[in-house]
Amino acid sequence: MIIGNLHNLSNELPFLPEAVQKGVKYLAETDFGSLAEGRYPIDGDKILAIVSKYTPQPWENCKAETHVKYIDVQFVAAGEELLGYAPRSDAQEILEDCTPQKDAVYYKTVAGESFIHLSSGAYAVIFPWDIHRPGCSGDHQAEVKKVVLKIALDLV
């Protein structure tokens, strides 16, 4: 997992894979304040943005997940939330494998999970070997506007 902030993009960009750079540049150049919820193709089905609004929930109500075909870039356009993280290992118990339908594996247990505070402008690059639990509230109860970039793993 890589954590960054658009305020530091000029310093961080050279260290990101080229496909991730393309996605993060899209985040920096787009006014999400006026963009409606929905799916936005950036490079066909290889790079796309999913814009959503929601109120963060207690971590117990949020699903821990990994992906197989896509890298996630989770970007907080407005608001703040906690993002759970743990490296994937054999110690994690799978709750449901939805890989064919949704490119997602959900976990029942997550050993060694820690939480990262993401506020407006922050992004997390999440690889298939990173278990993540997005949308957690902690002390943050206000609505979040989030963009999740889906970047096909075969681009990296």
108-138 b/e (C-beta count within 10 Å ≥ 16 → b): eebeebeeeebeebbbbbbbbebbbbbbbbe
CB-neighbour burial class of residue 43 (10 A; exposed 0-12, middle 13-18, buried 19+): middle
pTM of the prediction? 0.94
* Extents of the domains making up the chain: 2-155
The CATH superfamily label for domain 2-155 reads YhcH/YjgK/YiaL (2.60.120.370)
Number of H helices, E strands in the chain: 3, 12
pLDDT digits (tens, 9 = 90+) for 85-98: 999 988 888 999 99
Q: Which long-range contacts (CB under 8 A, 24 or more apart) does 39-45 make?
A: 42/149, 45/152
User: Which pLDDT tens digit goes with each residue over 121-132?
Assistant: 999 999 999 999
